[in-house]
């Protein structure tokens, strides 16, 4: 498809020369000889590029550019000005022109300017299309939230999204949907028009993290053959999602902390300071409080990231979401493969509800994809789920006879269990609440030690403290 170029100039010799050069380059060329006609043709033909003379009769080129930009703010224009009229060229650039060219000009100069400007236009359009596609593929309607706990998380994320700059830390097990929540914060906030740039900190060798985050100059390290923009630069005006931030090495944690505090950085191999406007959303499946206690994560970085903290509980703690998620995924995979969507039998639903789902939402998605691929029936039965061989989750059975059991204490030594079971008939939530209160009493209110004593992550403990209204 040919690029369309409009030439607006009152000098017939200039119009003819420019037209001849541009047609030879393969462009589709239209011409106008005054500003009024140029504005009308720009609106009717929607050219990819306009060569626009500043010294036009009637409305001048700068006035014409203002009217054209009002109709199409993204219109690319190159201004034509007489030699020595630099003030006019500067005014045109302020009015939104991409570049300018002075008379008399060389043919090669025309070719180069047209090629470079149209390449910039093409890249801008691709970025716009990509961002529009990302918005289209993310919809709040696709976020399943039947459980009250996850509804509260969605509401909290939407409130956080209204702030442009607040840094967010999302904690939760692998596969709980941390990136989905990060996208929700981005696409429902004021930065939705900007880029959403994810990076998995745990998947990059530690000696390459700096160049990935901040970019590098040509020759900055062995194999660096060109200047590269880093993720911070790519996310300018939008959101940078730092997945698995707990896997960063101590050196890289210091570099990240410095950028968060100064909001600027240096590319690897450069002494030029680059400032960016980026919102940081970080995520981790590690208990960062434990990592801090063990010396693996910087406490100052933790508090810098955890301005707004969100904990996503595992799927086994929000069972109301399991069947809706399974139904959504099996419908998606059935539709994409051209198969009718099967229904779950009551026994199959029971199997899904009692399975532990250690991989959380990601494991449900993979399970539904396998079902659609391998099964052809209209009903999903428990037999179709036999590949879920990991023992299903059930509350621990009560001991057959009362008496102490040997367990590991907080310091790792064998000891009689410090916990007392409540009377028979008490519901599971009351059991959980009672055990948490006992653990906090034993550890003097230390949440990290209490979580270890209970076999929980600190994030899970904090979630349950909130759920049961326990004041630590």
Q: Could you report the per-residue pLDDT of 145-202, keeping only the tens digit for each?
A: 889 999 999 999 999 999 888 999 999 999 999 999 999 999 988 888 888 999 999 8
Assess whether 166 and 223 both reside in one domain. Answer: yes
pLDDT band at 143 (very low <50, low <70, confident <90, very high): confident
What is the C-alpha separation between 289 and 297, in angstroms, rounded? 8
Which pLDDT does position 407 carry in this prediction? Answer: 40
Roughly what angle, to the nearest 10 degrees, separates helices 458-468 and 447-454?
100
Assess whether 324 and 307 both reside in one domain. Answer: no
What CATH number is associated with residue 338?
Answer: 1.10.8.60
Assess whether 19 and 79 both reside in one domain. Answer: yes
Assess whether 449 and 307 both reside in one domain. Answer: no
For 309-328, the pLDDT digits (tens) are 999 999 999 999 999 999 99
Q: For the ranges 78-92, 170-184, 246-260, 419-433, which has the lowest average pLDDT?
A: 419-433
What CATH number is associated with residue 306?
Answer: 3.40.50.300
Q: pLDDT averaged over the chain?
A: 84
Q: For the ranges 145-149, 232-236, 271-275, 391-395, which has the lowest average pLDDT?
A: 391-395
- Residue count of the chain, please give it: 472
Q: Per-residue pLDDT for 267 more than 80?
A: yes
Q: Per-residue pLDDT for 397 more than 60?
A: no
The total of structural domains in the chain comes to 4
Which pLDDT does position 401 carry in this prediction? Answer: 40
Domain edge (last residue) among 331, 351, 385: 385
Average pLDDT over residues 331-350: 93
CA atoms within 13 A on the CB side of 456: 23
For 126, the domain range is 4-131
Assess whether 360 and 288 both reside in one domain. Answer: no
Q: Per-residue pLDDT for 427 more than 60?
A: no
* Residue 418 DSSP symbol: -
Which pLDDT does position 127 carry in this prediction? Answer: 64
Q: Residue 15 is encoded by which pair of tokens?
A: 């119009």
Q: Residue 315 is encoded by which pair of tokens?
A: 């799927």
Q: For the ranges 61-70, 76-85, 250-259, 276-285, which has the lowest average pLDDT?
A: 76-85
Assess whether 443 and 332 both reside in one domain. Answer: no
What is the C-alpha separation between 53 and 9, in angstroms, rounded? 5
Element (H or E) spanning 333, and its range? helix 322-337
Asked if residue 33 is part of any domain, the answer here is: yes
For 208-240, the pLDDT digits (tens) are 888 899 988 877 776 666 778 889 988 988 999
For 92-122, the pLDDT digits (tens) are 788 889 888 888 888 888 999 999 888 888 8
What is the C-alpha separation between 384 and 468, in angstroms, rounded? 37
Assess whether 298 and 334 both reside in one domain. Answer: no
Q: Are 278 and 240 in contact (CB under 8 A)?
A: yes
Q: Per-residue pLDDT for 421 more than 60?
A: no
Asked if residue 136 is part of any domain, the answer here is: no
Residues 6 or more apart whose CB falls under 8 angstroms from that of 147 comprise 318, 319, 320, 321
Buried (b) or exposed (e) across 216-233, using 16+ Cβ within 10 A?
Answer: bbeebeeeeeeebebbbb
Assess whether 302 and 165 both reside in one domain. Answer: yes
Which pLDDT does position 415 carry in this prediction? Answer: 46
Asked if residue 397 is part of any domain, the answer here is: no
Average pLDDT over residues 52-75: 90
Closest listed residue to residue 1, CA positions, set 132, 118, 128, 127: 118
Assess whether 274 and 178 both reside in one domain. Answer: yes
Closest listed residue to residue 190, CA positions, set 224, 210, 163: 163
Q: Are 314 and 362 in contact (CB under 8 A)?
A: no
Which pLDDT does position 104 carry in this prediction? Answer: 83
Assess whether 181 and 83 both reside in one domain. Answer: no
Residues 6 or more apart whose CB falls under 8 angstroms from that of 151 comprise 145
Assess whether 184 and 266 both reside in one domain. Answer: yes
CA atoms within 13 A on the CB side of 337: 19
What CATH number is associated with residue 67?
Answer: 3.40.50.2300
Assess whether 247 and 278 both reside in one domain. Answer: yes
Which pLDDT does position 258 carry in this prediction? Answer: 92
What is the C-alpha separation between 305 and 298, in angstroms, rounded? 11
* Residue 286 DSSP symbol: S
Which pLDDT does position 410 carry in this prediction? Answer: 42
Dihedral (Cα; 72, 73, 76, 79), 10-degree rounding = 100
Which pLDDT does position 5 carry in this prediction? Answer: 94
């Amino acid at each position: 498809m040919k690029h369309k170029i409009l030439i607006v100039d009152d000098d017939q010799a200039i119009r003819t020369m420019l037209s001849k050069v541009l047609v030879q380059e393969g462009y589709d060329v239209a011409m106008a000889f005054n500003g009024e006609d140029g504005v009308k043709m720009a609106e009717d033909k929607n050219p990819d590029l306009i060569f626009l003379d500043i010294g036009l009769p009637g409305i001048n080129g700068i006035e014409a550019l203002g009217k054209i930009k009002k109709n199409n703010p993204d219109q690319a224009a190159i201004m034509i000005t007489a030699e020595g009229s630099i003030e006019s060229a500067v005014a045109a650039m302020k009015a939104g022109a991409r570049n300018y060219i002075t008379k008399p000009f060389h043919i090669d100069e025309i070719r180069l300017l047209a090629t470079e400007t149209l390449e910039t236009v093409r890249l801008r359009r691709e970025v716009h299309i990509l961002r529009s596609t990302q918005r289209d593929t993310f919809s709040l309607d696709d976020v399943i939230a039947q459980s009250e706990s996850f509804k509260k998380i969605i509401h909290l994320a939407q409130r956080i999204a209204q702030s442009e700059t607040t840094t967010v830390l999302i904690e939760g097990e692998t596969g709980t949907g941390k990136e989905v929540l990060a996208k929700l914060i981005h696409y429902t906030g004021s930065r939705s028009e900007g880029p959403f740039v994810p990076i998995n900190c745990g998947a990059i060798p530690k000696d390459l993290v700096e160049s990935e985050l901040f970019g590098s100059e040509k020759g900055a390290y062995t194999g660096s053959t060109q200047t590269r923009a880093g993720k911070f630069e790519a996310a300018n005006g939008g959101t940078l999602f730092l997945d698995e931030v707990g896997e960063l090495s101590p050196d890289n944690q210091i570099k990240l902390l410095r950028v968060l505090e100064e909001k600027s950085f240096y590319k690897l191999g450069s002494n030029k300071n680059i400032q960016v406007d980026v919102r940081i959303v970080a995520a981790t499946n590690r208990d960062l409080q434990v990592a801090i206690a063990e010396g693996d994560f910087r406490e100052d970085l933790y508090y810098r990231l955890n301005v707004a903290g969100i904990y996503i509980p595992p799927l086994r703690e929000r069972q109301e979401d399991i069947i809706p998620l399974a139904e959504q995924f099996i419908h998606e995979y059935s539709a994409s493969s051209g198969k009718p969507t099967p229904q779950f039998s009551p026994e199959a639903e029971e199997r899904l509800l009692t399975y532990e789902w250690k991989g959380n939402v990601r494991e449900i998605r993979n399970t539904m994809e396998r079902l659609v691929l391998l099964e052809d029936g209209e009903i999903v039965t428990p037999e179709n789920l036999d590949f879920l061989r990991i023992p299903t989750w059930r509350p621990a059975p009560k001991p057959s006879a009362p008496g102490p059991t040997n367990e590991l204490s907080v310091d790792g030594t064998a000891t009689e269990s410090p916990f007392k079971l409540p009377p028979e008939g008490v519901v599971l939530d009351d059991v959980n609440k009672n055990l948490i209160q006992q653990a906090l009493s034993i550890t003097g209110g230390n949440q990290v030690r209490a979580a270890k004593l209970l076999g929980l992550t600190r994030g899970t403990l904090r979630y349950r403290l909130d759920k049961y209204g326990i004041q630590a």
